[in-house]
Structure 1
């Protein structure tokens, strides 16, 4: 039954996508992030829904005679394209060029559709569609996981959907940490009291599910995120009281085995998993020092560890976005990746400074703050996970770029015009004719 429902939803959306390509962005993010077909048990699990949506979306963009879609040229988008180009170049010189094909195609699909999203997100309504889709896609698993945690008393771990980026306990925990600030932004947009209460409940359940993953990295990321979340919030007193009430309750609720697991953070030298990660980090460091372009994709095998790891027989994945980029794409790749994160963060800071003085743009300042909080959670938690190609941070990057463009456009519209100037602005894109603010 689930297979049929997902199939009907996807195919029923195709005419709307062809008429309005921005709706294709919503469907793509829903399919790629939530992977609803993975919840089925039949034909839908392996059906190429994402490819169908991508093809129809691209066809709609190409055949749309009323509008030309362009990639916004900003420092963020230029750095993003440079990172993609560098990954393609390192693939040419990969240690195992015959093995990287599948991973390279997968990464290029993600990056290619991120470019499409950057072209399609043109106004506030599109930005909010993007945020809502990410929240619903990940929040579904968080809400379900939080209810499961309450029912089981936190005795069992929460896992993500099988066969996705977030199928592991550590990965789903980090995704939930990233989603909570976005939920808070959407909470500010809701007007119905029961909708607001439902969003608060979902935030709490997502936090509980993240804790119940027993992920030590996610626990650290959540702690850092909550501190920064409080600093960025406009209601520090209210948020502070809520955190002081909810955090101790959540910690006391978790069983003894959870506290024993978290306590091992201070004893990482005796933890086999932690030492395996450190061994993989040292391997990536040595590899990058030996090869300018790194090793390319698929470097986590006995041959590479024999050559570069301090403990050759302890083969592990990178378990860090930073060492993953370093090992696969070298020091130059890491520099580009860090520059991308820095420029995205600076874009958010610019939005906050530019938008806060204008009541009409308060939404943009609030969104930029919450995306920064979300990305901080990813930067901290990602230090312990191999999630360089996880698509959600790139979608948040696209939302940040689009929001800056909207703020720049709206500030020009809000600026007083000289009395002697009587120029007529050219015809606006039809997307903005009926909804100039959104």
Structure 2
């Protein structure tokens, strides 16, 4: 029955996906992140739904009447440079054939990111994109939260099989990144039942994240809670709510969970932590020896014997930073960091330039919650391999598209108010661009 429902839904959406590229992007996002077909037991289990969604998106580029244009914001430029550099490092990899297989997977994801950047232009597009991302991850938050409660926190929560977030650490950070997006939808929702439902989803997602027993998730939750408190306009109330929820969730978890979390401060005694540090040294030594890094699939016995302090303790890097460093060298790491720093810069500009515009309050709130989400990714990602996961790139798309909405709003206001008033109302960055172009 599940198989049939998923197939019928995809068939129902496909004609709309071909006509409108942003619909194809949403279909891809749902299939890529949620992996709904992996929850079936019949013919749909291994059906190529993602490939079908990708083909629909490519066809829509040719037939759609919607405006498609790739933005020129800095995150887009750094993303393209990063993709070009990954192709170079794959050609120079230790294991080019194995590395090329992984490169194809990454390029498929990033091709859809670029299509999303070109297609998502309006508030309606952004809201749909957020809802699809939230539902795709929130489903596992609801499921995992109920599971954590029913087992008293004694059993570990895992992600959907066959995807980026199958592991307990990976699903934990995905949930943590999605909670701020849920909060944005809650803030903007007009229906009281939608708001209440989102609150329940947020609480259960937080419980599920703790139920993964991921130590990186605990650090990411703490960092995210701090930023969410700073972003709140009512800091006292938000501080009380965050503190109450945190104490309640932690108090619910069993003593075994507390013992595992306590090992954060005693990492020297933990074999898993020391294995990760050994892999980090591997990445550091490879980057010092090769400007292009080792390429994908760099965690072999041969490379550990040549570059790691302990050649017998073979682990993947379990860090977005060290995995990029080892696979693509210092140039790759710099491009990766510039991509996310510039994305945070877009969020900062959005908050600064929409703070006092009531019509754009949604952009102000969206930028703030995206900042919180990216902090969760930056902290949690330090302890797991999610450098190429879709969700953070989706957040980058939301912010870049949001800034495009701001520019469109300013242009509309300028036409209605006249040149002098329009110039006075432009944000400083756009005023400078206007002056330079007129000179």
Point out where structure 2 has 5 or more consecutive residues left out of the alignment: 423-439
Q: Does 1:54 align with 2:54?
A: yes
- Aligned twin of 1:274: 273
Query: How far 1:44 sits from its partner (Å)?
Result: 1.3
Q: Deviations over 1:290-320 (max 9, x none)?
A: 0000000111110010100000011000100
CA contact (8 A) 2:67 2:119 kept: no
CA–CA separation in structure 2 for the residues paired with 1:420 and 1:344: 30
Match of 1:215 in 2: 214
Q: String of CA shifts for 1:112-148, please: whole Å, max 9, x gaps.
A: 1111111110111111111111100000000111111
Offset of residue 21 of structure 1: 2.1
Structure 2 equivalent of residue 427 of structure 1: none
Between stretches 374-383 and 69-78, larger displacement belongs to 69-78
Shift of 1:3: 1.3
Kindly state the Cα deviation for residue 198 of structure 1 after the two structures are TM-superposed: 1.1
Correspondence list, 1:251-262, <5 A: 251-262=250-261
CA distance in 2: counterparts of 1:68 and 1:147, whole angstroms: 43
Structure 1 residue 46 displacement after superposition: 1.2
1:380–1:89 CA distance, 2 compared to 1 (3 A):
same
Distance 2:97 2:176 in 1: 37
1:18 alignment counterpart: 18
**How many Å separate the matches in 2 of 1:277 and 1:113?**
31
Aligned mates of 1:312, 1:198 — CA distance in 2: 50
Assess, with a 3 A threshold, how the Cα gap between structure 1 residues 191 and 85 changes in structure 2: closer, same or farther. Answer: same
RMSD: 1.3
Match of 2:200 in 1: 201
Report 1:117-156 matches (<5 A): 117-156=116-155
2:68 equivalent to 1:73: no
CA distance in 1, matches of 2:4, 2:118: 31
Number of aligned residues: 420
Q: In the alignment, which residue of structure 1 is the partner of 2:6? A: 6
C-alpha distance in structure 1 between counterparts of 2:33 and 2:303, whole Å: 31
Q: Which residue pairs with 1:34 in the alignment?
A: 34
For 2:259 and 2:280, the matched residues in 1 are separated by 26
CA distance change for structure 1 residues 320 and 418 in 2, over 3 Å: closer, same or farther?
closer
User: Contact 2:169–2:214 at 8 Å: present in 1 too?
Assistant: yes
Partner deviation per Cα, 1:378-405 (whole Å, 9 max, x = no partner)? 0000000011110110111011101011
Aligned to 1:149, the other structure's residue is in SS state helix
Determine the structure 2 residue equivalent to 1:394: 393
Secondary structure at the aligned position of 2:333 is classed as helix
Residue 312 of structure 2 is aligned to residue 306 of structure 1: no
Give the direction of change, closer, same or farther, for the CA distance of 1:124–1:306 in structure 2 (3 Å limit). Answer: same
Q: Determine helix, strand or coil for the equivalent of 1:163.
A: coil
**Which SS does the other structure have where 2:45 is aligned?**
helix
Q: Between 233-242 and 311-320, report the one with greater CA deviation.
A: 233-242
How far apart, in 2, do the equivalents of 1:110 and 1:161 lie?
A: 18
CA distance in 1, matches of 2:38, 2:349: 39
Residue aligning to 1:432: none
Task: Give secondary structure in 2 for the equivalent of 1:318.
Answer: coil
SS of residue in 1 equivalent to 2:153 = coil
Offset, 1:7:
1.1
Question: Partner residue of 1:63?
Answer: 63
Cα separation, 1, equivalents of 2:240 and 2:421: 54
How many angstroms does 1:101 deviate by? Answer: 2.7
The aligned counterpart of 2:231 is 232
1:99 alignment partner, SS class: helix
- Structure 1 residues 420 and 107: CA distance shift in structure 2, 3 A: closer
The residue aligned with 1:324 is 323
Question: Partners in 2 of 1:214 and 1:342 — Cα distance?
Answer: 29
The answer (yes or no) to whether the contact 2:20–2:66 under 8 Å persists in 1 is: no
User: 2:366 matched to which residue of 1?
Assistant: 367
Partner of 2:283: 284
Structure 1 unaligned residues grouped into runs of 5+: 422-438
Tell me, in whole angstroms, the C-alpha distance in 2 between the residues paired with 1:155 and 1:129.
36
Question: What is the CA deviation profile of residues 248-276 of structure 1, one whole-angstrom value per residue up to 9, with x for unaligned ones?
Answer: 11111000000000001111001000000
- 1:71-123 superposed Cα distances (whole Å, 9 cap, x missing partner): 11121111100000000010000000122232111011001111111111011
Aligned match of 1:430:
none
Whole-angstrom CA distance in 2 between matches of 1:235 and 1:58: 45
- Matching residue of 1:379: 378
What TM-score do the two structures reach when normalised by structure 2? 0.94
Q: TM-score, normalised by structure 1?
A: 0.94
Q: Secondary structure at the match of 2:166?
A: coil
Query: Residue 112 of structure 2 aligns with which residue?
Result: 113
Give the stretch that moved more between structures: 394-403 or 230-239. Answer: 230-239
